[in-house]
Structure 1
Amino acid sequence: MIPNEWDVLPIEAIANVSSGGTPNRKENEYWGGNVPWVTTSEVQFNKIIGTKQKITQLGLKNSSAKLYPAGTILLAMYGQGKTRGQVAILGIEASTNQACAAIQLNKETCIDYYFYFLQSQYENIRNLSNSGGQKNLSGSLVKSLKVPIPPILEQIEIAKIISTWDQAIDTTKQLITNSKAQQKFLMQNLMTGKKRLQGFNDKWLEYRFNKIFDRIKIKNSINNSNVLTISGKDGLVSQKSYFKKIIASDNLEGYTLLQHGDFAYNKSYSNGYPYGAIKPLEKYAAGIVSSLYICFSLINPSKHNHDFFRHFFEGGYFNKEIYSIAQEGARNHGLLKCELY
């Protein structure tokens, strides 16, 4: 709810809105210069301090591209995926392509306030796009965007508060990134025995996989309908929730029945899992998977720790063994002959 004291006007009432252009790609002398040239792929709710591509002064002169000052707000009018509707602030003087709307605010406004406001209106702005096969924004639509006009001092204070939270979020993200790097380093050392915990000096033993795990071959005789799939990010998840539909066959009797804690191996490549993913069933008490999955469980859970092997598989420390049998073209049948530490 906008306060009664605030005006609400089209953004063109407080800003000059225009767009850039693209120099002729066939003219080599127009490209590779020192003029930054922004495309919508670089407009990502961010401050732009550099660009992937640059044009020359000649390219700028002989095209509809324009040079915009630092502080100009850019709004992506069209682009791939989530690009349309995203905004950025120029931290440098730069030109843009025709897919960017450049919003140069009047001096009596706070740039950061309107940058944050347009961010908050992302979904609404996307919904304003032209109808048709490819939904795009246009210069006229951008100019007509309604924006609130708080008193300038209030704009500044609002922007300061949001900026403080932005900085806190960035700091938290960096802390998480650093923590993940430390965790990865620790795992690499602990899971392979390069670093031993104090008080543990016994020699690590090497066993065949089938001495630690039993292959699960129990078929779905109880008519369980919780069909699972392996997601690299989410583990063993319901097909219905993951794909929004069931893609299994109508007859589920031949599927393998898993209980909570059982492991399943999908040999198919996925991002981060070059030799396939091994995941335990954690989200459900039971479920079923295609017979194409290799399923197994600990023979003696009181002797071998389930979580240790969960991390062992997830960290990729079993990849070397899988690779050796994958090279033989027998990844399915050779898995239980692999070595474990």
Structure 2
Amino acid sequence: MLPKEWKKQAVEDYADLLTGNAFRSEDYVEARESAIRLLRGDNIIQGSLRWDDAKHWATPYADALQRYEMQAGDIVLAMDRPIVNAGLKCSVVRQQDLPSLLVQRVARLRAKKNFDQGYLAQVLQTHRFIEHLRGQKTQTAVPHISPNDIREFEFPCPINPAEQRRIAQILSSWDQAIATAERLLANSQRCTRDLMASMLSGHRRFAEFSDKWRFVDLNTVFERVTRKNSAQNTNVLTISGEHGLISQRDYFNKSIASANLGGYTLLHRYDFAYNKSYSSGYPMGAIKPLMAYDAGVVSSLYLCFKLREDVDADFDFFRHYFEAGLLNQEIEGIAQEGARNHGLLNVSVTDFFKLKLHIPTAPEQRRISEVINVARSEEARLQAQVQALRQEKSALMSQLLTGRRRVKLPDTETEVQA
């Protein structure tokens, strides 16, 4: 039930939608003062634009391209792979994103007269809109949406533009708080990466340690884990870059393993597993320890190992060592480019356990891991803060963008009604 001052209509009733121009990649030019950036789907991330890998077009350009010039406040939405990690590749163009030209397979939305652009931008962040797009069927391997999929989405809104504007202002203040928290998190992550790179390589050391770091074979510190799943454990694990070794049921909401788990390898807490498939952020595959569960099973394609009981070594040091990619160069040396098959690196057990580790004494390992653990804890705190802000904003959106909770509109616009 909507308040009487509200109505429900489709996006096409409130906004004009334009898709970009089909610029030819062979006509791209190097970045220079006389070139203009091209706004592609790859430049759009959840809530902002990223120009790290921007393509450019020479200027001046034909008058026919002027309709594709971006303006501050434009809403842009990637039409290929629009949903990533449950978030939508949708953003509002800022002044610093200009000048730029809209590229094919990106939709630009501009609110029509007497409708607030900020309110429209908030509607396109809602869970309902994301689920609407997720429900669209595609006939190709690349998930995509059409302009009509966007135009036909219906949503409620107040008739009064002042109420639209006030709601957008309130939600925008939450966006600003989230953006600030995300910048703090990104800075913390960058500092932690730099800290790990310098300390885990021995380039930065503590004054109290002077012993020379040693090169040792991996099998002098670790031993292979080959235990079969005789316990009939059904907690099938997969490796996630963000979450580490995680249950398939928790990650995919289902198990995608075979029915017979007898041939799987049984891992105990603090065992490591190496996934030989390379993926984003892990060009030589990922090595992750089991920390979230007491036990679980992994495919026999994984190489599994644990710290030797007769060796004095720090678990956290090696957890961070592997995560920092300090074995990548060694692995690359034993996994020839021509041996790759569908993303799977050809790494033999013998070669893997002969990889060289460059490590300090156990006391220095423990000191290094203590410092890195503090930095990672701060990262986790900031990550939780970002997540909490997003959840709080989402709850507020479900109230304000449906009319369940109204804003006061006296002569001076003030607070949200309790």
Q: Per the shorter chain, which TM-score range?
A: 0.7 to 0.9
Which of 90, 95, 110 pairs up with 2:116?
110
Describe the superposition over 1:165-194 as per-residue Cα deviations: whole angstroms up to 9, x where unpaired. Answer: 212211221221111111111111111111
Describe the superposition over 1:217-265 as per-residue Cα deviations: whole angstroms up to 9, x where unpaired. Answer: 323333333333333333223344445334336261x433221111122
- The answer to whether residue 243 in structure 2 is matched with residue 261 in structure 1 is no
Q: SS at the partner of 1:250?
A: coil
Per the alignment, residue 250 of structure 1 pairs with 260
Per the alignment, residue 211 of structure 1 pairs with 220
Contiguous gaps of at least 5 residues in structure 1: none
Matches within 5 A, 1:168-317: 168-242=177-251, 244-248=254-258, 250=260, 252=262, 254-300=263-309, 303-317=312-326
Task: Give the number of the structure with larger relative contact order, counting CA–CA contacts within 8 Å between residues 6 or more apart.
Answer: 2
Q: CA RMSD in A?
A: 4.4
Q: SS at the partner of 2:125?
A: helix
**Which structure would you say has the larger Rg?**
1
Per the alignment, residue 122 of structure 1 pairs with 129
CA shift, 1:299, in A, is: 1.5
Name the structure with the higher helix share: 2
CA shift, 1:138, in A, is: 5.7
Q: SS at the partner of 1:119?
A: coil
Deviates more, 1:43-52 or 1:216-225: 43-52
Question: Is the CA contact (8 Å cut-off) linking 1:220 and 1:257 kept in structure 2?
Answer: yes
Question: Is the CA contact (8 Å cut-off) linking 1:9 and 1:149 kept in structure 2?
Answer: no
Do the aligned partners of residues 257 and 38 (structure 1) sit closer, same or farther apart at CA in structure 2, a change above 3 Å counting? closer
Report the residue type matching 2:355 in the other structure: C
Per the alignment, residue 80 of structure 1 pairs with 80
Matches within 5 A, 1:122-161: 122-123=129-130, 126=133, 142=151, 145=154, 147-161=156-170
Name the CA distance, whole Å, in 1 between partners of 2:135 and 2:277.
41
Deviates more, 1:109-118 or 1:321-330: 321-330
Question: Is the CA contact (8 Å cut-off) linking 1:38 and 1:97 kept in structure 2?
Answer: no
Name the CA distance, whole Å, in 2 between partners of 1:303 and 1:53.
55
Describe the superposition over 1:310-341 as per-residue Cα deviations: whole angstroms up to 9, x where unpaired. Answer: 11111111223333444597631122233332
Question: Is the CA contact (8 Å cut-off) linking 1:66 and 1:96 kept in structure 2?
Answer: no
Q: TM-score, normalised to structure 2's length?
A: 0.61
Question: Is the CA contact (8 Å cut-off) linking 1:18 and 1:102 kept in structure 2?
Answer: yes
Per the alignment, residue 349 of structure 2 pairs with 332
Contiguous gaps of at least 5 residues in structure 2: 28-33, 340-345, 360-418
Do the aligned partners of residues 110 and 225 (structure 1) sit closer, same or farther apart at CA in structure 2, a change above 3 Å counting? closer
Question: Is the CA contact (8 Å cut-off) linking 2:123 and 2:155 kept in structure 1?
Answer: no
Q: TM-score, normalised to structure 1's length?
A: 0.72
CA shift, 1:80, in A, is: 2.0
Q: SS at the partner of 1:284?
A: coil
Q: How many residues align?
A: 326
Name the CA distance, whole Å, in 2 between partners of 1:277 and 1:41.
25
Do the aligned partners of residues 287 and 10 (structure 1) sit closer, same or farther apart at CA in structure 2, a change above 3 Å counting? closer
Which of 57, 64, 69 pairs up with 1:59?
64
